[in-house]
Amino acid sequence: MAGELSHILVPTDGSEQALDAARVAGHLARALDAKVTVVMVHPEDVVPALAWEAVMEVDEMRARVESDAREKALPDTVEALGKLSHEPECFQLWGHPAEQVCQFAEESDVSLIVMGSHGRSGFKRLILGSVSNAVVNHAPCAVTIVR
């Protein structure tokens, strides 16, 4: 069993909660000597609206969303992980966040997903955020919820 905890997935949206989760993931990864992968999923459906608002082509908007993530959310998350013996890998995916996270975990032999209880969404009254809730329910592996 010990050998199985070798790949930790940290889904991020760059929120404070996601960074807290990354700190816990880093702590676990150091103890387990596990590899860490950071993924950021961009929901496809907001792009046309964002592009419309910014008077931009949809493709241009997608590229901007990705470059913004490369500049801020992803490096912030990597920094929160702290020093690791294996350089963390970062990926950006498009689609339904929970679905993409679970699919990625399945395809990449992830042994543990570490994520915040809430993301960016302002629905503080929700006890568990919708993405975290869906991931906990559908993940192919163990999930650690950090609050």
Partner 1 sequence: MSKIKSILVATDGSEGAIKAAEMAGDLARALDASVHVVMVQSEDMIMPHAWGVGDYPAAAPYGTMPIEEVREMLEKRVRNNELPETASAVGKLDKEPEQVVIWGHPAKEICSFAEENDIDLIVIGSHGRSKIARALLGSVSNAVANQAPCPVTIVR
Return the residues of window 63-92 that contact partner 1 according to CB under 8 A.
none
Using the rule CB under 8 A, which residue among 7, 14, 31, 85 binds partner 1? Answer: 31
* Residue 110 binding partner 1, by CB under 8 A: no
CA–chain centroid gap for 60, Å, is 23
Using the rule CB under 8 A, which residue among 20, 66, 76, 99 binds partner 1? Answer: 20
Amino acid type, 57: E
Q: Pairing mode, if any, of strands 7-11 and 112-116? A: parallel
H or E element in which residue 97 lies: helix 97-107
SS3 41: strand
Amino acid type, 99: E
* Residue 144 binding partner 1, by CB under 8 A: yes
CB of residue 39 to partner 1, shortest distance in Å: 19
Of 108 and 144, CB closest to partner 1: 144
* Residue 139 binding partner 1, by CB under 8 A: yes
C-alpha torsion sign, points 73, 141, 4, 104? negative
Using the rule CB under 8 A, which residue among 64, 96, 120, 138 binds partner 1? Answer: 138
User: Residue 118 phi/psi, 5° resolution?
Assistant: -135, 150
CB of residue 141 to partner 1, shortest distance in Å: 7
Of 92 and 130, CB closest to partner 1: 130
SS3 18: helix
Q: Which positions lie near partner 1, rule CB under 8 A? A: 1-2, 4-5, 20, 23-24, 27-28, 31-32, 112, 127-128, 136-147
